[in-house]
Amino acid sequence: MKKIIIPIMIIAIATAFYQEQKADKNVYIVLVAIGVFMLGMMKLSAKTPSKNIDKKEENVQ
């Protein structure tokens, strides 16, 4: 899954940067590209364990 998400995110950000450099910018393409990037980041960071995973529930603030 990680091997698929990372290239999609790179393509989305490259598209957003390319659209920003053009004289006739398309805002909707930039918004979609940023949305795809953010969704990819959410999926990748969801697998990162919490710092409080070893603590008991009553000690977590």
Instruction: Give the whole-angstrom CA distance, residue 56 versus residue 35.
Output: 35
DSSP letter, residue 61: -
What does the pLDDT read at residue 59? 55
pLDDT of amino acid 1: 75
C-beta separation of 18 from 50 below 8 A: no
Taken in order 31, 37, 43, 49, the sign of the CA dihedral is: negative
Instruction: Output the pTM of the full model.
Output: 0.71
Average pLDDT over residues 29-48: 91
Structure tokens at 6: 């990372």
Going by pLDDT thresholds of 50, 70 and 90, the confidence category of residue 11 is very high
Is residue 49 classed as helix, strand or coil in its secondary structure?
coil
56, pLDDT greater than 60: no
